Amino acid sequence: MADSSNPLAGLDPEQAAVVTAPAGPLCVLAGAGTGKTRAITHRIAHRVRSGQVRAQHVLAVTFTARAAAEMRARIDQLGAAGVQARTFHAAALRQVRYFAPRLFSGRDMPELLDSKARLVGLAATRVGVKIDGTGARDLAGEIEWAKSSLIEPADYAVAAAKALREPPFDAAKVGEVYAAYERVKRAQGVIDFEDMIRAAIWAMEEHEDVAQQIRSQYRHFVVDEYQDVNPMQQRLLESWLGDRDDLTVVGDASQTIYSFTGASASYLVDFKRRHPAATVVRLIRDYRSTPQVVGLANTVIGQARGELARLRLELIGQRPAGPEPVMRSFPDEAQEAAAVAARCGELVAAGTPAEEIAVLFRVNAQSEVYQEALAEAGVPYVVHGAERFFERVEVRQAMIALRAATRSADADAPLTESVARALEGVGWRPGDTPAGGAARERWEAVAALVALAESMPALTLEAFNEELARRATLQHVPTVAGVTLSSLHSAKGLEWDAVFLVGLAEGTMPVIHARTPDAVEEERRLLYVGVTRARHTLWLSYAGARAPGGRPRRASRFLPMLEPGRAAQQGSGRHAGAAGRGLGKAEVAARVRRTVAVSCRVCGAGLLSGAERKLGRCAGCPADRDEELLARLLDWRARLAAVQKV
Ligand code: ATP
Ligand code: MG
């Protein structure tokens, strides 16, 4: 058996080439599940273990706290403990904290802003713009894009027009709010996430001694998910590097899902041009998913259009066959969630660990109904998305109670005891598990803090509070064993045995504000990211209305081509490149026929159940229209005949 702690074991030839490539620029271009993260993790471990580099000189950067933690754990297992694997934000925060007295004239680092939207609202009022909560969030998004793209307030309007942005109102006015936001922030002595990265850059650009100290600490750089780097993060990376080039980047242009916040795959795509000496390796074997899932993923991305479409990479499935992906439609969201929860329960009962299951959705608001349904079905779950965990009222209350308890706590009583006692003061009891719904969710959130305390018994209550504050800043959510509920964005890089992609209706996927063709393409890539998270079992579903009797919604425009069976026809994972390209006329016609045959005559939704197919329309769509007329309208021959008659 291969030695799982040997960095050179268990790799294919291309992955081995990544691991053993010489020092210097290296770029790995490959599709989802091809082992990019595995290859760079093994590369780091191999270089450390063979003495080429020292663990403390390596900085590996990725985009989510969870991905960073997983990478660290894997490198440790491979016998190269001590390597730093962090998100850009965490790395910048550490650096700025360390140098804070020097950078902020002897003062501590300013507090991090807790709600950007609130301050943006205030700034808008200052320049005479009236906005509601949604408007403030949209505007905060625009400001985040501008700052991540290194665009100053005065240049916002021109840059936004060039980038085909759709600001919520007049671009010049948005620029004014942006400028006012910066002023308000300064006056309140707080900084936002982008400022933290800017401060890290500025520290090195303005202070040669700081730059030297940082560069002597970090000498070898690795960036995972490089397709999603934004200009500000790229500049930070360049500042770290100085005039050196020991940099490994890996990415997949087809998984670019952050361009709306300023990320650009161009750094990945142009890497070789900017580093002519770079070694470039391509990986093509997909080790994560069954051929059925790989086939479906290929179909999704095979239909991509636009600039990044030509960069999609061929995937060849390596795993044994599994079940066909399942596609379902439901009358409303509650029924969809109940069916998903029931299926999760069945999988758990049949032996799939709950933590090997994920329910992924496009917008966080969709999470609520799944939390209720899972609680109702008695299936444990954990909401992934730290921002929300530490924003929860009960978590904030618990943290306040824990801080207050340091004054009265019996010094070093065991940590778990002090924590439990303090939390009982705010009404939480260990065995008092509410049956379900929101109360259960609140209980679970506080229980996660207790579990965290149990995992670090050596800490004092004071140190534990500091640890909580650090995690809140870095958005490290305590892990709880259960079905993961996550947005598609936070799921990138991760994998589960069973994945449920839910709410795939027009308006949520693509999301309603994806109005430009580029924005729709980003949504398609997001779906590709979702599909490729599944190792074995994949479920796609949508509801024909949000609530019973609500306004009818269509199936996502991405779904009709993903009909069961069609993915398998794409070959056992051989890249379909397929859909649409190089197909004979007869095959194209057959695909179109199949699509039409399964679409609702009234609303055009493409995923009908067996009974609905017989009806020829969704169960939720009205039947009292002139069906014959509708049928004729939807049948091009009938339409042609009608035109000829006229
Ligand atoms: P993503 O684009 O989603 O980030 P990735 O390219 O980083 O995917 P990994 O997460 O590294 O892919 O690997 C996907 C899965 O395949 C993991 O479970 C990994 O352990 C497994 N894997 C990778 N390479 C091999 C290999 N040579 N043999 C067996 N399993 C492998
Ligand atoms: Mg990866």
Name the DSSP letter for residue 60: E
Return the ligand 1 atom nearest residue 533 CA. 3
Q: State the pLDDT at residue 522.
A: 93
* Interface TM-score (ipTM) > 0.95: yes
Return the ligand 1 atom nearest residue 38 CA. 11
In the annotated binding site, the residues are: 30-37
- Judge if the beta carbon of residue 10 lies within 6 A of ligand 1: yes
Q: Pocket of ligand 1, candidates 75, 288, 289, 533: which has the most ligand atoms within 8 Å of its Cβ, to mutate?
A: 288
Q: What is the pLDDT of residues 149-170, one digit of tens each?
A: 999 999 999 999 998 888 888 9
Q: State the pLDDT at residue 586.
A: 46
Distance CA 7, CA 42 (A): 5
Kindly report the number of other CB atoms within 10 A of residue 111's CB atom: 11
In the annotated binding site for ATP, the residues are: 30-37
| Ligand 1: centre distance to CA 33 (Å) | 5
- Judge if the beta carbon of residue 493 lies within 6 A of ligand 1: yes
Atom 17 of ligand 1, nearest CA residue: 288
Residue 204 confidence (pLDDT) above 70: yes
Rg (CA), the chain: 26
pLDDT classification of 570: cutoffs 50, 70, 90:
very low
Sequence letter at residue 334: A
Residue 597 confidence (pLDDT) above 70: no
- Judge if the beta carbon of residue 356 lies within 6 A of ligand 1: no
Atom 4 of ligand 1, nearest CA residue: 493
Q: What is the pLDDT of residues 53-102, one digit of tens each?
A: 999 999 999 988 778 888 998 999 999 999 999 989 889 988 988 888 88
Q: Pocket of ligand 1, candidates 228, 287, 313: which has the most ligand atoms within 8 Å of its Cβ, to mutate?
A: 287
| Ligand 1: centre distance to CA 493 (Å) | 9
- Judge if the beta carbon of residue 288 lies within 6 A of ligand 1: yes
Residue 602 confidence (pLDDT) above 90: no
Residue list, CB under 5 A from ion ligand 2: 36-37, 493
| Ligand 1: centre distance to CA 79 (Å) | 19
Residue 615 confidence (pLDDT) above 70: no
Rounded to two decimals, the pTM is 0.77
pLDDT classification of 479: cutoffs 50, 70, 90:
low
Name the DSSP letter for residue 228: G
Q: What is the mean pLDDT of residues 118-145?
A: 88
Q: Which residue has the tokens 């989510």?
A: 64
Task: Render 68-99 in DSSP notation, one character per residue.
Answer: HHHHHHHHHHTT-TT-EEEEHHHHHHHHHHHH
- Judge if the beta carbon of residue 530 lies within 6 A of ligand 1: no
φ/ψ of residue 568, rounded to 5:
-65, -35
Residues 6+ apart with CB under 8 A from 500: 340, 343, 344, 357, 358, 359, 360, 539, 541
Distance CA 361, CA 367 (A): 7
Give kind and range of the element (H or E) at residue 28: strand 26-30
Return the ligand 1 atom nearest residue 529 CA. 3
**Secondary structure E strands in 104-202:** 111-112, 190-191
Nearest CA among 120, 67, 106 for reference residue 90: 67
Atom 19 of ligand 1, nearest CA residue: 35
**Cα separations in angstroms, 549 against 543, 546, 608:** 12, 8, 18
Q: State the pLDDT at residue 180.
A: 97
Q: Which residue has the tokens 């990478």?
A: 71
Distance CA 413, CA 26 (A): 52
Give kind and range of the element (H or E) at residue 334: helix 333-349
Nearest CA among 202, 216, 243, 283 for reference residue 28: 283
| Ligand 2: centre distance to CA 40 (Å) | 9
